[in-house]
C-alpha cells in the first residue's frame, strides 16, 4: 500500500512538472510569435510615418502610445531597444529600463545578434516573476533593434497550482481506492493463511483434528483443502503409530524376557555412517528402553536407568554395558551368560545391533534380550543330582547283592546259618530295589499327571485308624505308641482314600523310624479356614504332651500300638469311632482338614527344612539308608497332597522332634459319632 501511494505521489509530481514545463513552453512560443508580429508592426509604422524611433534619442509619444496599447492587449510589459542598446520605448514605469537608458540585460547582445531568447525570472521594475521573450527587429533584412516582452507568470502559476491540486486529489483518491482494494485483496489471502497458521500451531501442540475453512476456490482454497487433508492423514497415521506403539509396549511388558535398548545420541561433529559408529563413545550411548521384566531381573526401580549412559549398567550387572557397546561398535550380535548375586541367579544376554537402513550399515544402537535361566540351571542341577542319586541308590544294593553272591559262590558260608544270613541280606536288598523302582515310577506318574484319582467324601478319622492298625506291628517292634486326637465335628475331606492312606503310611513310617524306643507319635485331626497359615500350635486343640488319652499326662499303656481318643483325652470303649455322614450339619464357611503327625525324634536342622520335600534328600544319609528308606517318600507325599489341592509343611527343632502336616479341602458336611464324640 505504501509503495502504491509513493508511486502515485511521484507520478503526480512528475506529471505536474511536465505540465508546467509544457505550459511555459507554449507561453514562450506564443510570446515569441507575438513579439515577431509586434516588431514587424513597429517597423511598418516606423516606415509609414517616417519616425526616427530606432535612431532618435528622445522619447516619442506615438511610440509610447503604441506600446501601451499593445501592453494592455497582451498583458505583457514591452521594452524596445535600438541597435545601439539604448531603450527607445518601454511600458515599465520604474527601474532602469526607461527610454534613453541603456539596460543591463544579459540577453540583449544575443537578441541583437538575431537570436530569439526566452527566460523565466525576476526583472527590475517588475515585482513578480515573469516570462521574458526577446526577438530581434528587422528592417530590410538588418537587425535595427530588439523587442522584449515580459509577461507575469502569476496567472500561469495559479493555473499550475490548480492542476497540481487536481493531481494531488486524484492521487489521494487513487491511493485511498488502492488501499481499500489492497486491504480487501490482502484479507482474502491473509485470512485463509492465518487459519492455516493457527491449524499448524495446533498441530505442533499435538492436535491433529483441525480442519482449515475454505474461503475461495483459487489456489489459496486449494492450499486450505490440502492442509485439511494433511491433518486428517497425519491424525490417522499418528493414531496407527500410537496403536502399534501400545501393542509393542504391551508385548514388551508381558514378555518373560527382559529387554534393554540403547541408542547413540546425534553428534554434530561426526559425519555419519559406519566409520563414525566405530568410534562411538559411551558418553553418547544412552538407554532408551527397559521393560519391567528387565528391571526385575536387574533389581532396579521402574524408569531408574532410562536416558542414563549404558556404562551405568555395570553397577548392577558387570559386563552388560560393555557387551552392548561392543555390539554397537562392531555391528555383530553377541551372547554372554552372567551370574547375579554370587550364583543366586543366572542370566543369558543376547545382544544385536539396530540399524536405520535395511542392511543395518548405519548402526545407531543395540537391543539386548535378558533371559533368566536360573530355573533352567536349577532343573539341570536337579536332573544331574537325580541321576547321581538314582545311580547311587541302585549301585548300593546291587553292590551288596553282588558281594554276598560272590561269597556264596566262593563257598565262604559253609554252615547253614551263615548262608541263611547271606540269602536274607540279598533278599532284603532286592526288596529295597523293588521299593525304589516302585517309588520312582509312582513319583514319575504323579508328576506327569497320569494318575486316576477316585475323589470321594472321606472321614479322615476312619482312614487314620485303619493306617494305625496297619502300622501296629512296626510300632510295637520299637515299643512306640500312637495318640489320635480328633476335633469334634470334623468335616469330611474330598480325597482319594488309597492315596491318603499312602500319605499317612509314609509320614507314620518316617516318624516310627526316627522316634526313640518307648516314645509315642501324635496324630491330630482338625479343621482350619481355607487358606489360613499353618503353624506349630493350633487353636483347635492342645499340645499332645499336655493332653494324653488317660487325662493325666502319662504315656498310654502298651497294647495294639494304637489309641483313639476324643478331644478331652477319653479313649473310646472299643478304640474306634463310629461316624454317620448323613447326620452332619452344612459347613458355614470354606474349610480345610488339617492332619498333623508329630514325633519325638532327633529333629531336623533349620538349614535342611527347605529341602526336606526334594527327591533323595536325606538329613542323615547313613541312618536313613540303614532304615530302608528310598528318599522319595516325602516327595510322593507332597505330590499327592498338592494334587488334592492341599498344602504340606514341616516344623522341627533339633532334639525335640518334628511335626509333619498337610491339609485337604473339606467338603459339605461335618461328621458326628453316634454317642456325640468324634
CATH classification at residue 141: 3.30.450.20
| % the chain with pLDDT above 90 | 9
Which residues are within 8 A (CB) of 471 and not within 5 positions of it... i.e. 6 or more apart? 482, 505, 508, 509, 512, 561, 562
Residue 548 lies in a domain: no
Q: Is 229 part of a structural domain of the chain?
A: no
Same-domain check for residues 14 and 135: yes
43-64 b/e (C-beta count within 10 Å ≥ 16 → b): beebeeeeeebbeeeebbeebb
Four-point Cα dihedral 196, 201, 205, 208, nearest 10: 0
**Which helix (DSSP H) or strand (DSSP E) does residue 274 occupy?**
helix 273-277
- What is the model's pLDDT at position 95? 63
- In this structure, the answer to whether residues 438 and 466 fall within a common structural domain is no
The CA-to-CA distance between both ends of the chain, in Å, stands at 112
Print the domain residue range for 413: 379-447
Residue 385 has pLDDT above 80, yes or no: no
Do 521 and 627 lie in a common domain?
Answer: yes
Q: Is 154 helix (H, G, I), strand (E, B) or coil?
A: helix
What span, in angstroms and rounded, lies between the C-alpha atoms of 268 and 39? 93
User: In this predicted structure, which of 412-416, 572-576, 590-594 has the lowest mean pLDDT?
Assistant: 572-576
- What values do phi and psi take at 128, rounded to 5? -145, 160
Helix, strand, or coil (residue 338): strand
More confident residue, 252 or 348: 348
Q: Are residues 358 and 340 in the same domain?
A: yes
| Of the candidate ranges 67-81, 103-117, 353-367, 430-444, the one whose mean pLDDT is the lowest | 353-367
Let me know whether 49 and 138 are in one domain.
Answer: yes
Question: pLDDT digit string (tens) for 185-233?
Answer: 777 777 778 888 888 888 888 777 777 777 777 777 788 888 888 888 8
Task: Indicate whether 303 belongs to any domain.
Answer: yes
Cell numbers for 516: 526313640
Count Cα atoms within 13 angstroms, Cβ side, for 341.
9
Residue 206 lies in a domain: no
Number of helices (H) and strands (E) in the chain: give both, helices first: 16, 20
Higher-pLDDT residue of 32, 59: 32
Asked if the model's pLDDT at residue 623 lies above 70, the reply is no
Which run of H or E residues covers position 61? helix 61-74
Choose the final residue of a domain: 319, 348, 372. Answer: 372
* DSSP H helices in 312-373: 320-330
* Grid cell of 361 as nine digits: 550399515
Looking at the fold, whether 368 and 386 belong to one and the same domain comes out as: no
> Of 398, 415, 447, which marks where a domain is finished?
447
Q: Three cell numbers at 40?
A: 514587424
Give the pLDDT confidence score for residue 485 in this predicted structure: 93
Which of these, 651, 654, 663, 665, lies nearest to 537 by C-alpha position?
Answer: 651
Residue 592 has pLDDT above 80, yes or no: yes
Mean pLDDT of 241-262: 84
Does 138 share its domain with 251? no
In the chain, the percentage of residues whose pLDDT exceeds 70 is: 76
Query: How many Å apart are CA 355 and CA 135, to the nearest integer?
Result: 99
Whether 4 is covered by a domain: the verdict is: yes
Residue 397 sits in a domain whose CATH number is 1.10.287.130
Q: DSSP characters for 446-486?
A: HHHT-PPP-EEEE-HHHHHHHHHHHTHHHHHHHT-EEEEEE
- For the chain, the domain total comes to 4
pLDDT for residue 530 is more than 60: yes
Distance between CA atoms of 647 and 645, rounded to whole angstroms?
Answer: 7
394 and 458 within one domain: no
Q: What mean pLDDT do residues 595-614 have? A: 87
Q: Which three cell numbers stand for residue 251?
A: 508385548
pLDDT given at position 522: 93
Instruction: Decide which of 335 and 70 is more confident.
Output: 335
204 within a domain of the structure (yes/no): no
Same domain, 255 and 311: yes
Same domain assignment for residues 101 and 132: yes
- Same domain (yes/no): 52, 121: yes
pLDDT at position 155, please? 63
| Res 526: pLDDT | 92
pLDDT score of 628: 52
- Which grid cell sits at 547? 493332653
Of the three residues 418, 447, 476, the one that is the final residue of a domain is 447
Inside any domain, residue 641: yes
What CATH number should be reported for the domain holding residue 613?
A: 3.30.565.10
596 pLDDT higher than 90 = yes
Residue for grid cell 510300632: 475
Domain presence at residue 180: no
Q: What is the DSSP letter of 80?
A: E
Strands 591-598 and 563-565: unpaired
What H or E segment, with its residue span, contains residue 249?
A: helix 219-254
Q: Are 251 and 384 within one domain?
A: no
In 3-state terms the chain splits into helix, strand, coil percentages (rounded to 5) of 45, 20, 35
The C-alpha atoms of residue 578 and residue 539 are separated, in whole angstroms, by 25
Q: What is the mean pLDDT of the chain?
A: 75
* CB-based contacts of 574, cutoff 8 Å, min separation 6: none
Amino acid at each position: 500500500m505504501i509503495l502504491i501511494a509513493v508511486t502515485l505521489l511521484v507520478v503526480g509530481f512528475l506529471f505536474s512538472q511536465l505540465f508546467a514545463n509544457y505550459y511555459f513552453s507554449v507561453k514562450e512560443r506564443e510570446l515569441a510569435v507575438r513579439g515577431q508580429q509586434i516588431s514587424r508592426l513597429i517597423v511598418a509604422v516606423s516606415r509609414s510615418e517616417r519616425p526616427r524611433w530606432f535612431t532618435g534619442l528622445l522619447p516619442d509619444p506615438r511610440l509610447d502610445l503604441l506600446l501601451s496599447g499593445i501592453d494592455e492587449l497582451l498583458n505583457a510589459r514591452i521594452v524596445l531597444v535600438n541597435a545601439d542598446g539604448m531603450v527607445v520605448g518601454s511600458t515599465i514605469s520604474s527601474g532602469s529600463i526607461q527610454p534613453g537608458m541603456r539596460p543591463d540585460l544579459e540577453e540583449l547582445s544575443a537578441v541583437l545578434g538575431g537570436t530569439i531568447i526566452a527566460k523565466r525570472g525576476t526583472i527590475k521594475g517588475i515585482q513578480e516573476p515573469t516570462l521574458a521573450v526577446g526577438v530581434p527587429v528587422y528592417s530590410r533584412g538588418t537587425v535595427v533593434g530588439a523587442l522584449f516582452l515580459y509577461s507575469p507568470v502569476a496567472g500561469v502559476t495559479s493555473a499550475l497550482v490548480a492542476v497540481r491540486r487536481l493531481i494531488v486529489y486524484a492521487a489521494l483518491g487513487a491511493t485511498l481506492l488502492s488501499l481499500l482494494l489492497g486491504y480487501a485483496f490482502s484479507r482474502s489471502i491473509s485470512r485463509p493463511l492465518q487459519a492455516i497458521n493457527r491449524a499448524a500451531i495446533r498441530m505442533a501442540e499435538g492436535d491433529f483434528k483441525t480442519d482449515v475453512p475454505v474461503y475461495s476456490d483459487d489456489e489459496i482454497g486449494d492450499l486450505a483443502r490440502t492442509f485439511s487433508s494433511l491433518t486428517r492423514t497425519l491424525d490417522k497415521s499418528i493414531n496407527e503409530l500410537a496403536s502399534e506403539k501400545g501393542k509393542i509396549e504391551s508385548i514388551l511388558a508381558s514378555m518373560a524376557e527382559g529387554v534393554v535398548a540403547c541408542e547413540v545420541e546425534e553428534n554434530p561433529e561426526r559425519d555419519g555412517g559406519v566409520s563414525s559408529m566405530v568410534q562411538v563413545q559411551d558418553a553418547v550411548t544412552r538407554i532408551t528402553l527397559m521393560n519391567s521384566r528387565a528391571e526385575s531381573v536387574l533389581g532396579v526401580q521402574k524408569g531408574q536407568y532410562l536416558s542414563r549412559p549404558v556404562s551405568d549398567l555395570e553397577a548392577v550387572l558387570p559386563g552388560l554395558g560393555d557387551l552392548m557397546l561392543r555390539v554397537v561398535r562392531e555391528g555383530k550380535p553377541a551372547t554372554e551368560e552372567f551370574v547375579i548375586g554370587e550364583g543366586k541367579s543366572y542370566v543369558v544376554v543376547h545382544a544385536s545391533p539396530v540399524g536405520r537402513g535395511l542392511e543395518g550399515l548405519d548402526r545407531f544402537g543395540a537391543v539386548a534380550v535378558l533371559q533368566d535361566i536360573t530355573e533352567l540351571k536349577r532343573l539341570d542341577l536337579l536332573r544331574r543330582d537325580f541321576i547321581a542319586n538314582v545311580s547311587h541308590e541302585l549301585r548300593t544294593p546291587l553292590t551288596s547283592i553282588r558281594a554276598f553272591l560272590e561269597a556264596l559262590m566262593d563257598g565262604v558260608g559253609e554252615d547253614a546259618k551263615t548262608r541263611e544270613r547271606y540269602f536274607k541280606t540279598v533278599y532284603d536288598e532286592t526288596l529295597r530295589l523293588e521299593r525304589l523302582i516302585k517309588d520312582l515310577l509312582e513319583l514319575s506318574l504323579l508328576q506327569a499327571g497320569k494318575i486316576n484319582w477316585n475323589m470321594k467324601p472321606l472321614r479322615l478319622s476312619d482312614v487314620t485308624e485303619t493306617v494305625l492298625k496297619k502300622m501296629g506291628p512296626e510300632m510295637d517292634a520299637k515299643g512306640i505308641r500312637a495318640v489320635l486326637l480328633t476335633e469334634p465335628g470334623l468335616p469330611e475331606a474330598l480325597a482319594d482314600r488309597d492315596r491318603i492312606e499312602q500319605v499317612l503310611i509314609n509320614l507314620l513310617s518316617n516318624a516310627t523310624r526316627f522316634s526313640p524306643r518307648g516314645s509315642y507319635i501324635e496324630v491330630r485331626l482338625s479343621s482350619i479356614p481355607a487358606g489360613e497359615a499353618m503353624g506349630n500350635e493350633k487353636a483347635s486343640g492342645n499340645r499332645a504332651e499336655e493332653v494324653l488319652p488317660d487325662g493325666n499326662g502319662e504315656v498310654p499303656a502298651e497294647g495294639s500300638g494304637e489309641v483313639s481318643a476324643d478331644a478331652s483325652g477319653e479313649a473310646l470303649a472299643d478304640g474306634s469311632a463310629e461316624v454317620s455322614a448323613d447326620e452332619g450339619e452344612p459347613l458355614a464357611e470354606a474349610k480345610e482338614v488339617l492332619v498333623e503327625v508329630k514325633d519325638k525324634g532327633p529333629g531336623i536342622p533349620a538349614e535342611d527344612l527347605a529341602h526336606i520335600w526334594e527327591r533323595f534328600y536325606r538329613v542323615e544319609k547313613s541312618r536313613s539308608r540303614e532304615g530302608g528308606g528310598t528318599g522319595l517318600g516325602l516327595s510322593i507325599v507332597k505330590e499327592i497332597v498338592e494334587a488334592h489341592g492341599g498344602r504340606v509343611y514341616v516344623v522341627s527343632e533339633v532334639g525335640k522332634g518334628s511335626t509333619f502336616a498337610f491339609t485337604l479341602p473339606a467338603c459339605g458336611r461335618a461328621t458326628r459319632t453316634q454317642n456325640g464324640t468324634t
